[in-house]
Amino acid sequence: MDTMNPLLDFSGLPRFDAVQPEHVAPAIRQLLDENRALIETLIAPETAATWDACVQPMLDAGERLSRAWGIVGHLHSVNDVPPWREAYNAMLPEVSGFYADLGQNLALFAKYKSLAASAEFPTLSPARKRIIENDLRDFRLSGAELPEDQKPRFKEIQEELSALGAKFSENLLDATNAHAEWIEDEAGLAGLPDDAKAAAKAAAEKDGKQGWKFTLQAPSYLPVLQFCDNRELRARMYRAYATRASEFGPAERDNGPLIERLLALRHEEAQLLGYANFGEVSLATKMADTPAQVAAFQRDMAKKARPFAARDVAELREFASRELGMETLESWDLAWASEKLKQRRYSFSDDEVKQYFPEPKVLAGLFRVIESLFAVKLAPDTAPVWHPAVRFFRIERAGKLIGQFYLDLYARETKRGGAWMDEAITRRRILGGVQTPVAYLNCNFPAPVGEGAQMRPATFSHDDVITLFHECGHGLHHLLTQVDELPVSGIHGVEWDAVELPSQFMENFCWEWDVLSAMTGHVDSGAPLPRALYDRMIAARNFQSGLQILRQIEFGLFDLLLHSEFVPGGERSFMDLLATVRSEVAVLAPPDWNRFPHSFSHIFGGGYAAGYYSYKWAEVLSADAYEAFEEAAKTSGSTLDANTGERFWREILSVGGSRPALESFRAFRGRDPLPDALLRHNGMTAVA
């Protein structure tokens, strides 16, 4: 193998210090050729339909391709400069085409069916049986059983869907970066926290200008909407943010036509596979059974949350009228007025809390939680990285390395928005032992401000801390697995609507006093979070929780109906559907010109199509699971209970996708999940 190309070096960690865009095409094409040659060997009559002769070679070759292409995809997400974008997009059709062909290979499908029907199958481990069963399902979902004359069209659909998803994300990133607001008079920034102003001033100086620069990147945009008294600035930034990648900007960045095409192609794919709609295709790999079941779940949650949300809105409007002199609240006023109400009611601001969460303290506290729960040790490690701000860590148990992860915390113009975990290397058994897993943890938090001795550490809002714990929950699912078969190791093979369980579970610790008291220190004085301020945070925990729940259900129900009841190309547009969903579940409606779907990258640029409901579905599981730690705390005095943590690791994290998620939950809780804990955590037990 040509190890001169760093993408073809699988001896260790990714070589981010060496890999360049020009390495992509030759490496990926070589791996595609190797995989195709292997498949020809495997489908030959003389190759036995056994695990060792057929499945294992496929897994070995497939991992090399997925690891190399994973590096390319990762760099496309975190370093989206033109050369990397071009290198990724140039090979995307070839990679998509390969996987489309693979899924439709009848001869290979026949080998797997033969293995499933053979005398060997009952002797396989549960993990290997589940792999075969999943593969048979995925062959069918990939069109393996389609008539030969329909397979080319199915492949074309897969290739175009991949290209459209990438283009959607690129348009959104470009549209986000295209807008800036320049403020020359500091009086126009009244109410804005000092650290947000300092970051804006640094951004202006970086561009060689005076004043303050604000962008649509979350660390810049969100403080303006929440704190800035300048209503005109809030309105301009809200409009720019809400119309990103739409017909209100350059045509080449308009995601509207892409959405229509994506929906039409997904519907056509479903029809080819014999499903009524794409929602049914999506749910074939999830815990939920039918779109109707998911719709009923979401509507039931909306019914429970709506009275609380209606109360939230009535209180906000009354406060705005009485205290702020505002008879009407526009969309760009909501976060600002809510912050004012929150400060008045609970006597603290989010910015005040933020000063107690400097990055070093937060990371130390996060690591303490992980170490206390799961009997591991985390320590800094070294590895080549893609940006100087990226750090690398190792996880050990009993002095033995069990996993490593990259931490990329700060927002950059070349990095896609949001927060996410992805895999670099997955645990599996190889010759000579076990391959330890490696993860990417990515966020978009504000970076430290200043230089040298004058540098001020990054400070995180409490919401940022929750986001960090969330992504680390995904990371732990990947890194703490004990499964040695790659397709069901870590997050692999886990039903999509259960994959959020560990991430949302970890969020709960961000509300515990014994956790927060040990992970806070004022950025200037070093003083820990005062207990009185913590008590006010707890009192405010469910502030506007009804509104927040309805917002998530609005997104989830829109996504579900878009992929199960909506007719692409019909008389109603996707914006019409969104208006209908809002009229059913929402208590607040944005302006008609708001183009939220054009930035809904979860379902159009990610893997959540007909699956956004998963966040709320898994929240039921995670809240119920966390209740076990609350119960243990009544005896041990802390939710950082090692015995319960060991059970959670053994029954949930360690087993990965080697068994159905519901079985794992039952093994941990001893029963089916109940929604009671989620309703209690959200304060939805009575309407005052």
Distance CA 600, CA 577 (A): 15
Distance CA 87, CA 89 (A): 6
Distance CA 287, CA 556 (A): 16
Pair 126, 659: CB distance under 8 Å: yes
Which parts of 204-306 are beta strand (E)?
212-215
Distance CA 78, CA 414 (A): 6
Tell me which of 63, 280, 423, 471 is the catalytic residue: 471
The pairing of strands 438-445 and 420-425 is antiparallel
- Beta-carbon count within 10 A of 9 CB: 18
Distance CA 322, CA 624 (A): 40
Distance CA 301, CA 310 (A): 14
> CB under 8 Å to 587, separation ≥6 — which residues?
306, 309, 310, 312, 313, 547, 550
Distance CA 168, CA 417 (A): 13
Of 655, 684, 668, the C-alpha closest to 622 is 668
Of 396, 402, 401, the C-alpha closest to 367 is 396
- Helical segments of 545-613, H only: 545-564, 574-585, 601-604
> CB under 8 Å to 398, separation ≥6 — which residues?
none
- For residue 431 the two structure tokens come to 């010759």
Pair 577, 562: CB distance under 8 Å: yes
Pair 155, 594: CB distance under 8 Å: no
User: 203-230: buried (b, 16+ CB within 10 Å) or exposed (e) per residue?
Assistant: bbeeeeeeebbbbbbbbbbbbbbbbbeb
3-state secondary structure of 656: coil
Q: Give helix 24-42 / helix 82-103 axis angle, nearest 10°.
A: 10
- Helical segments of 23-105, H only: 24-42, 56-78, 82-103
451 flagged as catalytic = no
- For residue 440 the two structure tokens come to 């990417």
Report the catalytic residues.
471
